[in-house]
Amino acid sequence: MRVSEVLKAITKNTILIYASAPSYPHGTIDPIEELARIALRYSFCLHVDACLGGFVLPFARHLKSISIPNFDFQIEGVTTISVDTHKYGCAQKGSSVLLYHSNILRQYQYTSVTDWSGGLYISPSQPGSRSGGLIAQTWAALLYNGYNGYQSAAHKILLASKYFREQISNIPGLELLGADVTMVVAWAAKNPKLNIYMINDILSSMGWELSVLHAPPALHLCITSANIGSLPSLIADLRASVADSFEHQNNSSSGMAPIYGLGNALPDRNLVGEMLKEIQDILLHNS
């Protein structure tokens, strides 16, 4: 995120700006101190999306080898923070947390209907009926892991991320995207003879499932307690697939690479949107 672009986008109708800690694609932490100064200057809200990072980054404060900048309410000007319990909180999907800096702000999410024939109606947010089971399960996940559990997992994840970044930066032809050490590591092909989507196809044939990014074309891995042990063998296979890809650079791949390449290169984004609708139709009809 470029702060200068944020400044350009502000109009008299702006009520909120937001930042990621970290972003899903590249694991980068936005310049939140700087954005907070802007939010204070214009008196609007600053939302920090810590959906992915909320259960990892706060625990890095005790790590000496990795420094994570402040991103939370310690910075004056941050008004809301989202934290996904369903990610590194290890709870079920469907649960998440939105933290407010003040109760006055929180009142804006309430629904209160006073003139309905069904009576007075309230809901703490926009949705109506929700499962209490999810809330109980989320509470159980918090108690089960506890502060120490989350802290020890976060330390292992961030140290593994540091290791993984170092390993990737040592593979000729690849480059890391983003400079922050967080749970996401993203990399692209630096050498124009390399097709990162073809590398992904080779990795897929070896049984790896990575996330495919575009604009720019890249791959990423979200490091979790479950995959830390596999990182050395992923690095070995990544090295092998880069070498393989260098050798067969002109062969068109029979895997997903042409599809990802097309999705990335088509200038008509409406057409890409239509294709994505078709895919969802197919998925639902088959289930």
Ligand X SMILES: *Cc1c(COP(=O)(O)O)cnc(C)c1O
The residue ranges that bind ligand X (CB under 6 A) are 20, 24, 49, 51-52, 84, 96
> What strand order describes the sheet that includes 184-189?
174-177, 184-189, 218-222, 211-213
Q: Name the minimum Å distance from CB 170 to ligand X.
A: 28
Q: What span, in angstroms and rounded, lies between the C-alpha atoms of 187 and 30?
A: 18
Q: Name the minimum Å distance from CB 211 to ligand X.
A: 11
Those residues with Cβ within 8 angstroms of residue 242's Cβ, 6 or more apart along the chain or in another chain = 171, 172, 173, 174, 194, 199
Q: Name the minimum Å distance from CB 112 to ligand X.
A: 25
91 versus 168: smaller Cβ distance to ligand X: 91
39 versus 56: smaller Cβ distance to ligand X: 56
**Do the Cβ atoms of 77 and 45 come closer than 8 Å?**
no
168 versus 222: smaller Cβ distance to ligand X: 222
212 versus 238: smaller Cβ distance to ligand X: 212
Other Cβ atoms closer than 10 A to 169: 11
Q: Name the minimum Å distance from CB 242 to ligand X.
A: 27
182 versus 245: smaller Cβ distance to ligand X: 182
Q: Name the minimum Å distance from CB 20 to ligand X.
A: 6
CA distances from 76 to 36, 38, 106, 191 (A): 7, 11, 17, 43
